[in-house]
Amino acid sequence: MDEILKHGVFWINGNLTAINSTLLILLLAVGAVLSLLIFYLAWHNLATRTWTPILCLAGFLIPLIVHGDGNILKSLIIGYIFIIAGASFSVQALRFS
């Protein structure tokens, strides 16, 4: 109980060098494929042509790529920022066109 109170319930070690969770790898890969599919479908319609789903694709791929510093927590945070920004800009671009 003291360890949970000390670090919190969702405490993640920031010195991890690789993603060990198969579920997380699968979710990131499915997200990358879906964002690429959204880009493909939006690109064929001239009225909704936008590059913003590529931000989501980059966000899903950043944690899967091996980095020089090896800090997986930092790459997950940067990836999630890209995903949130790309998704919000994609929705706005597709809604107003």
CA 41/CA 51 separation, integer angstroms: 11
Q: What is the pLDDT of residues 33-89, one digit of tens each?
A: 999 998 888 887 776 777 888 889 999 998 888 666 667 778 888 899 999 998 888
Please give the pLDDT value at position 13. 60
Please give the pLDDT value at position 81. 93
Is it the case that residue 30 has pLDDT exceeding 90?
A: yes
pTM as predicted: 0.71
What are the counts of helices (DSSP H) followed by strands (DSSP E) for the chain?
4, 0
Using DSSP, state whether 96 is helix, strand or coil: coil
Domain ranges (residues) in the chain = 16-95
Q: Are 35 and 60 in contact (CB under 8 A)?
A: yes
